[in-house]
Chains A and B, each alone.
Chain A
Amino acid sequence: MILLPRGNPVKENIDPGKVDLAGALGKMRQGKFTGYLRFDFPDGTGVFIYQEGRLISALYQSERENLIAYDGIARTFAESLAGSGVLNIYRLSTDLAYSIHALLHGEMLHKGQDLQLIDIKSLLVRMREDKSNGCLRIYSPEHIALIFYRNGNPLGFFHDGSTEIETTADSSMSVAREPGAKVDVLVTRGNIETSLADLMETADVAGLWDNALTERRRQREERESTTSRTLEMKESERRQKALALFQRSAQAHLGKLGVSLVEKEFEKMKLNGGQLNEALLSGFYGNLSKAAKLVAGPSKIELMLDEMKKGFKGLSK
């Protein structure tokens, strides 16, 4: 689960499978959007970060995978088209957008430091003195809090359960006091503004989207084909059972000539994998009855057909 500040909601609870994502990303670019798109899927989360219309970061994270840039975009597209996803779009300040990038992609300066063994106040002072850009992630077994920094100054505080960026450190710092609390320090070095490339410039997003659509269509066709094959197999099995039932009945009433008549009339229906229904069988019974008149009387034929009809109804249940 990726914890991110919500910022200013632009769109919430959209089904990304019903959106032309390549087109939507294009519009973000044209609109000089700053903020991020968050895709929540049953098995993972995708995050696209925009800074003034530049797609500066893309990530897809799940328990097993951590895909970035083009791979992250492609995977997010694929998961979106698979359905069961939710897309939320939030506007952020430019600084916060960079901080989120740092949170997701930054260098891990300290990882899992026990807050009882570290002087958090000194750490914050050092962040300010070093004019660090990045994020402090403070977490206990129960809670998590984020403090975003820009040039050593805190931009905002965010913790799970809050809906907005907070300007005071109270709630976030309370996590630090919880037993077993730890801290990760993530920073970005150098001039981050110039180092981040616009993924939409370097990647063929429309191509990635088309590939995802093609793959999705292929999967759907394959699934439909499998379903159709399964249905065909079931229908074929039903046909075989019906034929065997009719043959048994004909054998009992008309002997082996009756069996041959059943086979011939069954063949004449030209099912070709189609469904065996009452309308088709009505013709079958009629033809069989006509042919059977050459070797048996109406009462015997009627008895045989009744047996067949009852048997077939039993098969259909």
Chain B
Amino acid sequence: MEFQSVLALFWLIAGGVSFYFSIGNARVWTSIAVGFFLILLGEIIPGAMPFLPGLDNAYVLAMGHIIGTISILVMSHGFQEYYVFTRTLDFEGSKRFVYLSVLGVIAASLVFLLINPTPTEEVRKVIRIVENTNWVFLSLINIDLIRKIYLNVKDTPISNGFIAFMVVFACIFLWKGSQLYIDVFNLEMIKDTFPLRYEISFWCKNIGNVLASITVGGTFLYLGKLLR
């Protein structure tokens, strides 16, 4: 319970900082910051605060995983936009469009859940595997993409912020990769047979989670300082 509370605190800070950052900065940062903010909404509140009311609801839990998936997709899209900007120096769109699009996708996902049978635990596990698969592979892709962005903006004031993002995605990879490993091999059910693997995966997941929350909050604070 204590660990969950600390985790929740870290993610609240990280989510708050990233959302605030999305408001006060250039449009291209909106997708990235909103993506990180969605981690707080979709993943951490159900996971870090199991004591909140209504969190045993199958739809709330399923939506948590779906929002988590939307989160990595939105921020990956944001980094792609940033990369395109560093190559072409062109960018377009508006912040409002980003916010509305994200809300629209979340609403459409909710409708999709509601018109289908109640997501059982087995269904939710499948959704979670889909979510974590996205996180794992897109984290790796994003690390490479951010490396390329860093090379393009190496001598600008913001450049070191992208190194911080690489660290963030390394932590997320550790966190989500461990969770995916546990789910794919159903290690929780067979932890007595493979205690070491389970223990390593479990602690990697938790440490990765904490480090991710700290690095996300720290990175956005650092970016805020660089862009002052």
Contacts and interface: CB of A to CB of B under 8 A. Distances in A.
Contact of A297 (B85, B152, B155, B228): B228
B156 A257 contact: yes
A264 B86 CA distance: 12
A296 B89 contact: no
Interface residues of A, number: 19
A112 interface: no
A261 B154 contact: no
B89 A260 contact: yes
A254 B26 contact: no
A196 B226 CA distance: 96
Contacts of A299: 228
Contacts of A290: 26
A300 B157 contact: yes
Contacts of A293: 25-26, 227
A255 B154 contact: yes
A253 to B, nearest CB: 8
Interface in A270-313: 290-291, 293-300
A294 B154 contact: no
Contacts of B138: none
B89 A261 contact: yes
A297 B227 contact: yes
**A interface: dominant SS:** helix
B158 interface: yes
A255 to B, nearest CB: 3
Nearest to B88: A264
B227 A255 contact: no
A255 B156 contact: yes
A297 B157 contact: yes
A290 B156 CA distance: 15
B228 A257 contact: no
A294 B26 contact: yes
Nearest to B161: A295
Interface string B18-43: 00000001101100000000000000
Interface string A251-267: 00111111011001000
A253 B157 CA distance: 8
B226 A257 contact: no
Contact of B157 (A256, A264, A291, A295): A295
Nearest to A300: B157
B157 A257 contact: no
B28 A256 contact: no
B194 interface: no
A260 B156 CA distance: 12
Nearest to A297: B227
Contacts of A258: 156
B91 interface: yes
A254 B227 contact: no
Interface in B67-114: 82, 85-86, 89, 91
A298 B157 CA distance: 11
A122 B152 CA distance: 106
Contacts of A260: 89
B163 interface: no
B204 to A, nearest CB: 34
B157 A296 contact: yes
A169 B226 CA distance: 104
B58 interface: no
Nearest to A258: B156
B228 A294 contact: no
A116 B82 CA distance: 104
Contact of A296 (B28, B91, B152, B156): B156
B126 interface: no
A255 B227 CA distance: 15
17 contacts: A254-B155, A254-B157, A255-B156, A257-B86, A257-B152, A257-B155, A264-B89, A291-B89, A294-B28, A294-B29, A294-B82, A294-B85, A295-B158, A296-B157, A297-B227, A297-B228, A299-B228
Interface of B: 25-26, 28-29, 82, 85-86, 89, 91, 152-159, 226-228
Closest 10 CB pairs of A and B: A255-B155, A295-B156, A297-B227, A293-B26, A296-B157, A297-B228, A255-B156, A295-B158, A294-B26, A264-B89
Given A257-B89, A295-B153, A296-B157, 11 more contacts: A254-B155, A257-B153, A291-B89, A293-B26, A293-B227, A294-B85, A296-B158, A297-B226, A297-B228, A298-B228, A299-B228
